[in-house]
Structure 1
Amino acid sequence: MSELSITTTQNVTINFQAASVGQRMAAGALDFLIKAAYVISVFYVFFNKLGVDRMLNSVDMWSRVAVIIMFFFPVMIYSVTLESILEGQTIGKKLMKIKVVKIDGYQGGFGDYLIRWIFRIIENNIMGGLIGLIAMATNKKVQRMGDMAAGTAVITLKSNISINNTILEEIGDAYKPTYPLVIKLSDNDMRIIKDTFLVAEKTDDDYTILKLSKKIENVTGITNQSGNPTDFIKTVLKDYNFYTQNM
C-alpha cells in the first residue's frame, strides 16, 4: 500500500496510506449495488406496479425522456452528492473506510467532487473504465484521472495510529469546556492545529505556538483566557473533542 504525504497550509507534512486499487474497486462495487437496488425498486414500484410505462405511451418522446431522467437522476448524481455531504465519502467508501482528500491539505469542496464526477463519466465510457484502472495502478498516489484533475487522492482510514496522530484528546467524564466557539472549526482545521502544535512544542518553537494561538483567536473570535498560548491551544483541542463527542 502506497504512502501519501500531504503538506498542510501550515507547512506540516502528514502521512496517510493511499487506498489500494482493490479497496477503491470494492467501494465502487458496493455503490453500484446500492444504485442497482434503487433502479430495480423504481422499475418495480413505478413501472410494474403503478404502470408509469403505460402512461408514457400517451405522451411525446421528449416528455418520456424527461420523466425517465427524473426517476433515475439520483443514480446519476449519487457520488458527487454524497461526497459533498459526507466530506469525501459515499456509502461504499464509508463501508470500506476510505475517503477523498485534497493533496494540498484543504478539505475537499463541491467543485473538487464535481470534477471527479465529470471525469468518472469520461473514464467509464473509455474502454469500459479500463483507463481509470490503469491510471490508478500506475500512479504512486493511486489516483485516477479525476483525482489528478481535482488535486485529490483517496486514503484509507484503517491505519493503526495513536491518539497523538489524530484530532482526539484524552478528557475525563468530568471535563468542563471553556471555549464553546471552537465548534466553528472543522475536523480538518483541528488536525492541522494539532499537528502544527505538536511539532512546535517538540522543538520549543514558541513563536509558532504564539502565532497559531493568535490565528485561532482571529478565526473563531475566542479570547485566550489563560494568557498562555500553549495552555490555550491545549484547551481548544480538548474543548473541540468535548463538543464534537457530545453533539
Structure 2
Amino acid sequence: MSEIQINTTQNVNINFTQAAVGERVVAHVIDLVIKIVYCVLIVLFFHSLVEDSESYYSLDGWSKTAIYIMILFPALIYTLVLESLWEGQTIGKKIVKIKVVKIDGYQATFVDYIIRWFFRIVDLNMLSGFVALIAIIMSEKAQRLGGMSSGTAVISQKQKVRISHTIMEEIGVDYKPQFPSVIQLSDNDMRIVKETFVIAKKGKDVDTLNKLRAKVEQVMEVKSDKETIPFINIVIKDFNFYTQNM
C-alpha cells in the first residue's frame, strides 16, 4: 500500500498507510447496507402505523413527501453524524479499520466533515461512484473530491501495534522522574512526540530529532544539557510515570 505523509502541528512529518480502494469500497458497502436496512424497516414500521389512518391518506403528495423525508433523514446524515462523533469513522470504517484524517496534522472539524458529506453527491451518488474512484486513483493522496476540498484523506489503521508504537513506555517500579513539567504535555502531544521520535530515530533524522527536542523543551519550559535521544527517552518515561501514578 502507498503511504501518505502528514505534517503535524509540531512541523514534523509522519507517514501513514493510505486506505486501499478495496477497503474504502467495502466500508462504503457496509454503510450503504446499514442505511438501506434502516430505510426499509422505518418505512415498513411507518406504514404499519398509518395503515388505517384516514388522515394520512387524505394528505396531498407534498405533505406525504415531507413526512418521508423526515423519517428517512437519519439515513441521509448518517455519514456526517458518525464521522463527526467518531473522529473520522463510520460503522463501516470501524469494521474495515480505516479513518478520515486532516493532511495538515490538525484535528478534522465539523466543517471538514460537512464538506466531505456534501461532495458525496458528486463523488458517490453520480455515475455510481465512478467519479470518486477516478479521483482516488488519480490523486497523489488517494483523495476523492470531498477529501481534496476539505484537506482530508483516508488512512488505514491496520498496523501491528506494540508498546513501542503507543504513548505507553515500560518503566521500573523504582523509576525516578526528572522533569515534573512533562505533565504540561497532553496525551495527544505525547503520542505525536513518540511517533515522531521512533520514526526519526530509526531513520537517523537528526534535524527532525532536534526540532522535536526544541518543541518539547519549549512546551515543558525546560532546558536540558542531555543529548537529544536520551533527553526525549526520559521525557517519554517521565510522562508515563506521572500519568500512571495520578
TM-score (norm 2): 0.77
Q: Name the stretch that deviates more: 1-10 or 97-106.
A: 1-10
Contact 2:18 2:142 in 1 (8 A): yes
1:190 aligns with 2:190: yes
- Structure 1 residues 31 and 208, CA, compared in 2 at 3 Å: closer, same or farther? closer
In the TM superposition, residue 51 of structure 1 has moved relative to its aligned partner by: 3.0
Q: Deviations over 1:184-209 (max 9, x none)?
A: 9354x332222345548x74967853
Corresponding residue for residue 212 of structure 1: 216
Partner of 1:31: 31
Find 1:236's aligned residue among 231, 234, 239. Answer: 239
Q: Is the 8 A contact 1:8 1:106 kept in 2?
A: yes
Q: Secondary structure at the match of 2:141?
A: coil
Identity %: 45
Question: What number of residue pairs does the alignment pair up?
Answer: 234
Contact 1:19–1:154, Cα closer than 8 Å, also in 2: yes
Secondary structure in structure 1 of the residue aligned to 2:14: strand
Please, what is the CA RMSD of the aligned residues? 3.7
User: Which residue is equivalent to 2:137?
Assistant: 137
Residue equivalent to 1:12:
12
Q: Please give the per-residue CA displacement for 1:172-195, whole angstroms capped at 9, x wherever unaligned.
A: 8999x998x9699354x3322223
The match for 1:154 is: 154
- Residues 124, 174 of structure 1: alpha-carbon distance in 2 compared, 3 angstrom cutoff: farther
- Cα pair 2:10 2:215 within 8 Å, conserved: no
TM-score w.r.t. structure 1 length?
0.77
Matched, 1:108 2:108: yes
Structure 1: which 5+ residue stretches go unaligned?
A: 218-223
Q: What secondary structure sits across from 1:23 in the alignment? A: helix
